[in-house]
């Protein structure tokens, strides 16, 4: 093997390890951020305040509508139910076509598989 590719392989390995390390740190920070936000929201609700100001930081609490994630099987069941209620003759096939149309076009791309020994 040439020296160029060996250097590139070492750099790839180091980059993968750095990404793993940073992912662990990022997960901890996201969890900490969520806990702190929950504490502040609880305080604002208890004090019946719309927001709080500290030094140059202003934090406002507002209600926001969100939607939870739905599992793929539940999505399929919901689509089939909706199609049946609309009188579609073959709701299962139509549901499969609908779900397939939501996906992007399939492509074949080269991918590296790294095996640590």
CB 72 within 8 A of CB 64: no
pTM of this prediction exceeds 0.75? no
**Residue 99 CA neighbour count, 13 Å, CB half:** 17
Residue 79 burial by Cβ neighbours in a 10 Å radius (0-12, 13-18, 19+): middle
pLDDT tens across 3-41, in order?
888 899 999 999 999 999 999 999 999 999 999 999 999
Tell me the sheet residues that pair with 53: 58
Residue 84: pLDDT band with limits 50, 70, 90: very high
Question: Tens of pLDDT along 61-79?
Answer: 888 899 999 998 999 999 9
Could you say which DSSP state residue 106 is in? Answer: P
What pLDDT score does 11 carry? 93
Q: Determine the 3-state secondary structure of 113 from DSSP.
A: coil
Decide: 44 and 50 in contact? Cβ < 8 Å. yes
The percentage of residues in the chain with a pLDDT greater than 70, rounded to a whole number, is: 98
């Amino acid at each position: 093997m040439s020296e160029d590719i060996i250097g590139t392989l070492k750099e790839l390995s180091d980059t993968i390890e750095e990404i793993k390390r940073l992912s662990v740190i990022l997960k901890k920070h996201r969890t900490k951020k969520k806990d702190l936000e929950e504490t502040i929201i609880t305080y604002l609700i208890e004090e019946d305040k719309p927001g709080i100001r500290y030094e140059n930081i202003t934090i406002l609490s507002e209600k926001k509508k969100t939607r939870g994630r739905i599992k793929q099987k539940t999505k399929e069941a919901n689509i089939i139910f909706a199609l049946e209620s609309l009188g579609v003759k073959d709701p299962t096939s139509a549901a499969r076509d609908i779900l397939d149309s939501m996906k992007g076009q399939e492509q074949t791309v080269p991918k590296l598989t790294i095996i640590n020994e």
